[in-house]
Amino acid sequence: MATETTPRAKLRWGLLDVIVVVFALVPVLWIASLSFKTPATLTDGKFWPREWTLDNYRTIFDTDQFVRALVNSIGIALIATLIAVVLGAMAAYAISRLDFPGKKLLVGVSLLIAMFPQVSLVSPLFEIERQLGLFDTWPGLILPYITFALPLAIYTLSAFFKQIPWDLEKAAKMDGATQGQAFRRVIAPLAAPGLFTTAILVFIFCWNDFLFAITLTSTERSRTVPVALQFFTGESQFEDPTGAICAAAVVITIPIILFVLFFQRRIVSGLTSGAVKG
């Protein structure tokens, strides 16, 4: 298929892009704008705040509740991502390279887990975690996150591993590498784009989760930000917390943007370096 870039085609695509971007960004910008408004002007319906204020941000960082939740969120999401990606990489490698009995079953079951409605697991998990003493702890959230992130990780990564020519691994073995060295020094660097993509997806999944976070936590000890936002009420019951909630929403979007931006560069550079095929 030839890709024509006539001025008209360019205009058409440009317009389409603008529509998509506006559609996606307006709600985000609206929230950002709300977070800078004073309580009095909050409901004036203007997109551009008439009076700028940072009070909302001061409010959320003054409350211990929000900072604790932020720390919980970052910690839990990072640990879950790390474990899921490492385990997923090993499983995906085995699936893409080895023929072992029960391989199809394993892949099928992991797909099943990904499709299982999470809501139906919430009550049993709640009971189990209470019995085990995991309720309202970091591991209590990390474990289910890994469970649900693993199928995703295995799927994405095995697709990446399959693209790597097997000859490279044979060559590494002939060059004197052990299986482990071949994986670490030859395969893993080539699968890096896949690893980063998976890491981003898993991180976003953990960061945004609300269902598990609200059922498996009860205190600031392990409550994550999406849940903490729910518990946001003003100083008194007469105060409108909308501004503060919006400020918090903006704050929790920042780590994700940073995470994606940081890894995106690695993805691009990884792809170009993997472009060689023998």
Partner 1 sequence: MADIVLDKVSKRFPDGTTAVRDVDLEIADGEFVILVGPSGCGKSTTLNMIAGLEDISSGELRIAGERVNDRAPRDRDIAMVFQSYALYPNMSVRENMAFPLRLAKLDKETIHQKVEEAAKVLELTPLLDRKPANLSGGQRQRVAMGRAIVRQPKAFLMDEPLSNLDAKLRVQMRTVVSRLQKQLGTTTVYVTHDQTEAMTLGDRVVIMRGGAVQQVGPPQELYDHPRNLFVAGFIGSPSMNFLHAAVEDGHLRTALGDVPIGDRVRRQLDGADAPRELILGIRPEHFEDAALIDDDTLRRGLEFEAPVDIVESMGSDKYVYFTVEGERASAAELEELAADAGAADFTGTGSSLVTRLSAESPVREGEPRRVWFNLEKIHLFDPSTGRNLTLHEGRASGALAD
Is 42 a binding residue for partner 1 by CB under 8 A? The answer is no
Residues constituting the chain: 278
Cα separation, 37 vs 139, whole angstroms = 38
CA 100 to chain centre: 31
Selection from 113, 163, 132 nearest residue 270 by Cα: 163
Q: With CA atoms as reference, report the closest residue to 85 among 140, 142, 152, 141.
A: 152
When asked if residue 267 is in the footprint of partner 1 (CB under 8 A), the reply is: no
User: Contact region for partner 1 (CB under 8 A) — 62-70, 178-186, 230-238, 247-255?
Assistant: 178-186
**Does residue 107 bind partner 1 (CB under 8 A)?**
no
* Residue 186 lies near partner 1 (rule: CB under 8 A): yes
Closest distance of CB 17 from partner 1, Å: 31
Contact 209, 224 (CB under 8 A): yes
Among 76, 157, 172, 244, binds partner 1 (CB under 8 A): 172
133 binds partner 1 (CB under 8 A): no
Nearest to partner 1 of 97, 173 (CB atom):
173
Say whether residue 103 binds partner 1 (CB under 8 A).
Answer: no
Total residues in contact with partner 1, by rule CB under 8 A: 24
Q: Specify the stretch interacting with partner 1 by CB under 8 A; choose among 100-108, 179-187, 194-202, 233-241.
A: 179-187
Answer yes or no whether residue 180 interacts with partner 1 by CB under 8 A.
no
Query: Whose structure tokens read 């317009």?
Result: 15
Indicate the residue among 59 and 197 with the shorter CB distance to partner 1. Answer: 197
Is residue 273 close enough to count as binding partner 1 by CB under 8 A?
Answer: yes
Q: How far apart are the first and last CA of the chain?
A: 26
Neighbour-count burial for 144-172, b at 16+ CB within 10 Å, e otherwise: bbbbbbbbbbbbbbbebbeebeeebbeeb
Answer for which of 44, 62, 175, 239 binds partner 1 (CB under 8 A) is: 175
User: Which of the residues 137 through 166 are near partner 1 (CB under 8 A)?
Assistant: 165
Q: Contact, 184 vs 195, CB < 8 A?
A: no
Q: How far apart are CA 146 and CA 153, in angstroms?
A: 10
Query: Which residues are at the interface with partner 1 (CB under 8 A)?
Result: 165, 167-168, 170-178, 181, 185-186, 189-190, 272-278
